[in-house]
């Protein structure tokens, strides 16, 4: 897995990248009560605001980690946003995307670097 400074994780599955938020981010948010996901087929650019997530503590926007196309969204989270608190780095992924440049992942943090980043 790769990680961003915005506390997103990315996992390559075939020719797609699965994206979610880290356990650290979920813990900081508190109990998640609402998630708005992007539409499948949407073309996004790096740093576009594409997911809205609200918790009892705060509302946040999740940014596109890379340029590409949203190919699938995790509809379960719309009805059960609390899954983000239960399994943020597993079942509670937000979306899958086809990215234009897989080598862009090389510039992201690995798990050891991310753990150091969050201190």
Residue-wise pLDDT tens digits, 81-97: 999 999 999 999 999 99
Phi, psi of 76 (to 5 degrees): -55, -35
Q: Which two tokens stand for residue 103?
A: 């080598």
CA dist 20 and 43 (Å) reads 18
> What's the pLDDT score for residue 58?
87
Reply yes or no on domain 2-100 having CATH 2.40.50.100. Answer: yes
Quote helix, strand, coil % in the chain, to nearest 5.
25, 40, 40
Which residues share a beta bridge with 36?
A: 52
Helix H segments across the chain?
23-29, 76-79, 83-86, 111-118
Percentage of the chain beyond pLDDT 90 is 95
């Amino acid at each position: 897995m790769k990680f961003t400074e915005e506390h997103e994780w990315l996992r390559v599955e075939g020719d797609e990248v699965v994206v979610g938020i880290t356990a650290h981010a979920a813990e900081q948010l508190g109990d998640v009560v609402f998630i708005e996901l992007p539409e499948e087929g949407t073309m996004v650019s790096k740093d576009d605001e594409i997911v809205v997530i609200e918790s009892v503590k705060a509302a946040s926007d999740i940014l596109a980690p890379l340029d590409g196309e949203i190919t699938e969204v995790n509809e379960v989270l719309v009805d059960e946003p609390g899954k983000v608190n239960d399994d943020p780095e597993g079942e509670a992924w937000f979306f899958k995307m086809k990215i234009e440049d897989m080598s862009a992942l090389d510039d992201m943090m690995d798990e050891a670097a991310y753990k150091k980043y969050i201190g």
